[in-house]
Amino acid sequence: MVNDVHVAPPAPPRWYESLFIAVGAPFTAVGRELRGDVALAFAALGAIFRGAAGRRAVVQQAYAVGNRSLFFITATLGFLGLISVYQVATQIQQILPDFSMLGAAFIQLMIREFAPTITGLMIATRVGSGIAAEIGSMVVTEQVDALRMCNADPVEYLVAPRVLGSVVMVPMLSIYAVLVATLAGMALGHAVFDIPTQTFLSLRLVKGPDIVLGLVKAVSYGFWIPIVAAHAGLSATGGSAGVGWATTRAVVATSFAVVLLDFVISGASYVIFSV
C-alpha cells in the first residue's frame, strides 16, 4: 500500500519545457473545446429536428432564460444606457453643444452592437454558468449516468430544451434591452442635458441591415451559449471541485464565444454587405 509512493519529489519540467507547455496548452485546449462544442451542437440540432425536446421542458427553459433574466438585464442595460449617454454627451458638450444626432446614433449603435452583445454577455454569465452548474452537478452526482441507464439521452433530455429556449429568448431580451437602454439614456439626456425626447427618439440612422445584424447576433449567441455551457457541464469530473471548475470554464468559454461571434459577424457583415 505504501510501497507505490515516490521517495523523492519528481523532477520539475525545465524552464523551456514549461514555456512551451504554457504557450501551447491554450491552443490545444481551445481546439479540443471547439471540437467538443461543434459535436454537441450537431447532436442537439439532431435531437431538435427529431422533435425530441419536450414542449413543457422547452417552455420551462425559456422561462428560466428569459423571464428570470429580466431584472438583471434591466439593471445592467439600464446602467449601460445611462453611462453611454452621460459620457458621450459630456464629450460633445466640450466641443459644440449640438445633441441633435446623439439619440439617433445611440439607438443605431444599440440595435446593431451593444444591446445584443452586452445582453449576450450577461446571458452568458447568468444562464451559461447556471446551465453548467446544473448539468455539472448532475454529472458528478451520477444523475446523467442514471438518465442513460433509464434510456434517456442526456442531449435530448437536457441540452435540446435549453438550446431551444435560449434561441427564442435571447433575441427577445435583446429587443427588450434596446428599449431599456434607450429609455434610460433618453431620461438622463432629458434630465441632465435638456435633450428633448422627440430629438432623442430618432430612428433616422436605423436601416434594415442594422436590425438584421442585431438579430443575427442575438440568435447566434442564443444558440451557442447553452451549447458551450452544456459542454462544460457535461465534461465535469469528480466531486464538488468538478462542478466549480465546470461552471468557471463555462463563464469564460461562453463570454469568449460571445466576443468572438460579435467580431466574426460584425466583420463578415462589413466585408460582405458594407454595413
Partner 1 sequence: MIEFIDIHKRFGEKRVLEGVSITVEAGRVLYLIGTSGAGKSVLVKHLVGLLRPDSGRIVLDGQDITGLSEAAFYAVRRKCAMVFQHSTLFDSMTVLDNVALPYRKHARMKRAEANERALEKLALVGMREAAWRLPAEIGAGLQKRVAIARALTLDPQFVIFDEPTTGLDPLAAKHVDDLIRSLRNDTGVTAIVVSHDIRSIFTVADRIAMIYQGGIRLDGTPDDFRRSDDPVVRQFITGRPDGPMVI
Partner 2 sequence: MSAAAAPGAHDGAVLRAEGLGKRFAGGWVLEGVDLALHPGEIVGLVGQGGHGKSVLLKCLAGLLAPDAGRVVAFGEDLATLSSVRLAKVREAYGYVFQNYALFDFMTVADNVAFPLRQRGDADERAVKALVRERLAEVGLAAAVGLYPRELSGGMKKRVGLVRATVTDPDVILYDDPSAGLDPVTSSKIFELIARMQERRAGSAAIVVSHDIDRMRAICARYVMLERGRVVFEGGEEDVAGAPRAVSDFFDLDGAGVLA
Partner 3 sequence: MIRALDATFGAVGRGYLALARTVGGIVVLFGRILRAMVPPRFDRDETWRNLYDVGVKSFPIVVVTALFVGAIMVIQSAFYVKRTGATGLLGYGVGFSVFAEIGPILIGLMFSGRVGANTTAQLGTMVVTEQVDALRTLAIDPIRYLVVPRFVTMLLMMTLLMVLGDAFAVLGAAGTADAMLGVDWRVLVQGLLEAHFLDEFFMGVVKASCFGVSISVISCFYGLNVRGGAVGVGRAVNASVVANAAAIFVLDFVIGTLYTVM
Q: How would you label 209-230 residue by residue, b for 16+ Cβ within 10 Å and e otherwise?
A: ebeebbbbbbbbbbbbbbbbbb
Identity at 201, one-letter amino acid code: L
Instruction: Find the binding residues for partner 3 in span 88-107 (CB under 8 A).
Output: 90-91
Give phi and psi for 12, each to the nearest 5: -70, 155
Cα distances from 7 to residues 3, 95, 226, in angstroms, run: 9, 73, 47
Binding partner of 150, given partner 3, partner 1, partner 2, none, CB within 5-8 angstroms per partner class:
partner 2
Segment near partner 2 (CB under 8 A); pick from 113-121, 147-155, 166-174, 253-261:
147-155
Instruction: Find the binding residues for partner 1 in span 7-26 (CB under 8 A).
Output: 7-10
Instruction: Find the binding residues for partner 1 in span 203-262 (CB under 8 A).
Output: 241
Query: Quick check: 5 binds partner 1 (CB under 8 A)?
Result: yes
Binding partner of 142, given partner 1, partner 3, partner 2, none, CB within 5-8 angstroms per partner class:
partner 2
Cα distances from 24 to residues 13, 245, 246, 272, in angstroms, run: 15, 21, 21, 33
Binding partner of 53, given partner 3, partner 1, partner 2, none, CB within 5-8 angstroms per partner class:
none
Whether residue 231 contacts residue 134, with contact meaning beta carbons closer than 8 Å, is answered with no
Identity at 126, one-letter amino acid code: R
> Quick one: DSSP state of residue 67?
G
Binding partner of 148, given partner 3, partner 2, partner 1, none, CB within 5-8 angstroms per partner class:
partner 2
Task: State the Cα–Cα distance between residues 179 and 187, nearest whole angstrom.
Answer: 12
CB count in 10 Å sphere of residue 191: 9
Segment near partner 2 (CB under 8 A); pick from 149-157, 168-176, 177-185, 228-236:
149-157
CB nearer to partner 1: pick between 39 and 241: 241
Cβ of residue 45: shortest distance to partner 3, in angstroms? 26
Query: Which residues in this chain contact partner 1 in the complex, by CB under 8 A?
Result: 1-2, 5-10, 241
Query: Which residues in this chain contact partner 2 in the complex, by CB under 8 A?
Result: 1, 141-143, 145-153
